[in-house]
């Protein structure tokens, strides 16, 4: 029973909310206890808010999900949890988040409210509109990063925001591509009608542009005068290969191993990707905080 509720809340998807920690890391405030706890609090609020959104989305899509080869196993379409129980759970979480927002500044409040409203619109409308669906996903990631900066009152580089935008666009496009391949095999796109507006050639071109944007923006961030001045080193450029490998590895898994519909699953199950992420974090922290 508890496992079904964990699946409904999509706890593995909470990994996406670690984007809130990006400003903390790159502002050199990672070891400031007050700022770390504030960011952790913001992370938890985003986790609860994203779970509310997932519950709402599952309630809306319950009939369509019953026709999906994978999503039909989710708690709502499989009727392991009733709609009423899901609504009650969403209300409880919303009440908890609402009370908690009194303990953060107004800027973070508006960010998380914008994130919630954006995703509600996504669930009801935006996900059915070509291109707007993937840009809505990207906007959600960007709001996480901006909120992470606002909750601890630090500036964040425009290059980092642009990198976040291209990363999230890349992931959203690859997800659409994976879904497109899946439903072309099944000769049905009833569960996500927006797929009819995409093609493999189109998604391939968009993915190439987004991947290039990630690499270029991140590389420019590492060598920008502001970055070098703040970190007192230009060694951050040496973390770029990890970013490039991550992009290429993800594309490999989608194209060669037919993965990509579940971003979180790739991030927590693919050993080379996990090692790459850990090496990136270690090298970045070491360089940013002048441990090397």
CATH number of the domain residue 85 falls in: 1.10.357.140
Residue, of 182 and 16, whose pLDDT is higher: 16
For residue 105, what are the contacts with CB-CB under 8 A and spacing of at least 6?
150, 151, 153
Number of domains in the chain: 2
| C-alpha 8, offset from chain centre | 18
Q: Which of 156, 174, 193 is the last residue of a domain?
A: 156
Regarding predicted confidence, which is higher, 259 or 116?
A: 116
Among candidate residues 212, 285, 198, the one with its CA nearest the CA of residue 244: 212
In a shared domain, residues 135 and 19 = yes
Residues 164 and 228 in one domain: yes
End residue of a domain, out of 139, 156, 173: 156
Other Cβ atoms within 10 Å of 125 Cβ, number:
12
pLDDT at 292: 66
Domain boundary among 156, 186, 217: 156
Q: What is the pLDDT of residue 185?
A: 64
Residue 169 and residue 129 share a domain: no
Q: What is the pTM of this model?
A: 0.90
With pLDDT > 70 as the criterion, what percentage of the chain qualifies? Answer: 93
Q: Residues 113, 239: one domain?
A: no
Q: Based on the fold, state whether residues 86 and 125 are members of the same structural domain.
A: yes
The verdict on 247 and 151 lying in the same domain is no
Residue 23 banded pLDDT, cuts 50, 70, 90: very high
Q: What is the mean pLDDT of the chain?
A: 89
SS3 state at 217: helix
Indicate the range of 26-35, 44-53, 66-75 predicted with least confidence.
66-75
Is pLDDT at 186 greater than 70 in this prediction? no
Q: In this structure, are 165 and 27 located in the same domain?
A: no
> What is the spatial distance between Cα 35 and Cα 287, in angstroms, rounded to a whole number?
20
Q: Are the CB atoms for 198 and 131 separated by under 8 Å?
A: no
The answer to whether residues 139 and 220 belong to one domain is no
Higher per-residue confidence, 238 vs 84 = 238
pLDDT at 184: 67
Does one domain contain both 249 and 143?
no
Residue 181 has pLDDT above 90, yes or no: no
Q: Residue 187: what pLDDT?
A: 55
- Model confidence at 112, in pLDDT bands (50, 70, 90)? very high
Asked if the model's pLDDT at residue 189 lies above 90, the reply is no
Give the pLDDT score at 47: 95
The answer for residues whose C-beta is within 8 angstroms of residue 196's C-beta and 6 or more apart is 189
- Supply the pLDDT for residue 53: 92
Of residues 4 and 289, more confidence is placed in: 289
Mean pLDDT of 122-146: 92
Q: Are residues 182 and 129 in the same domain?
A: no
pLDDT above 60: residue 89: yes
Containing structural domain, residue 91? 1-156
Q: pLDDT, tens digit, for every residue of 206-237?
A: 999 999 999 999 999 999 999 999 999 999 99
pLDDT at 250: 92
pLDDT of residue 193: 72
> What pLDDT score does 85 carry?
87
97 shares its domain with 220: no
Q: Does 109 share its domain with 69?
A: yes
């Amino acid at each position: 029973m508890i496992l079904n509720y964990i699946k409904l809340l999509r706890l593995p998807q909470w990994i996406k909310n670690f984007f809130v920690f990006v400003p903390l890391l790159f502002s050199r405030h990672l070891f400031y206890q007050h700022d770390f706890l504030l960011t952790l609090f913001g992370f938890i609020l985003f986790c609860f808010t994203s779970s509310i959104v997932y519950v709402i989305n599952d309630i809306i899509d319950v009939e369509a999900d019953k026709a999906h080869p994978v999503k039909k196993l989710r708690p709502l379409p499989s009727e392991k949890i009733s709609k009423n129980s899901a609504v009650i759970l969403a209300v409880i979480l919303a009440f908890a988040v609402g009370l908690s927002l009194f303990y953060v500044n107004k800027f973070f409040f508006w960010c998380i409210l914008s994130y919630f409203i954006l995703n509600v619109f996504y669930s009801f409308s935006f996900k059915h509109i070509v291109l707007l669906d993937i840009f809505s996903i990207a906007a959600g990631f960007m709001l996480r990063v901006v909120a992470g900066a606002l909750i601890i009152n630090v500036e964040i580089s425009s290059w980092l925001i642009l990198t976040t935008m291209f990363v999230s666009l890349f992931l959203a496009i690859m997800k659409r591509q994976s879904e497109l391949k899946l439903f072309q095999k099944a000769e049905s796109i009833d569960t996500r009608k927006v797929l009819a507006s995409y093609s493999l050639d189109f998604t391939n071109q968009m993915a190439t542009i987004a991947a290039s944007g990630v690499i270029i923006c991140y590389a420019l961030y590492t060598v920008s005068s502001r970055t070098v001045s703040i970190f007192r080193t230009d060694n951050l450029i040496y973390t770029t290969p990890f970013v490039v490998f991550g992009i290429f590895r993800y594309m490999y898994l989608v194209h060669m191993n037919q993965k990509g519909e579940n971003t979180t699953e790739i991030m927590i199950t693919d050993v080379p990707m996990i090692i790459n992420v850990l090496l990136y974090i270690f090298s970045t922290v070491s360089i940013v905080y002048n441990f090397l």
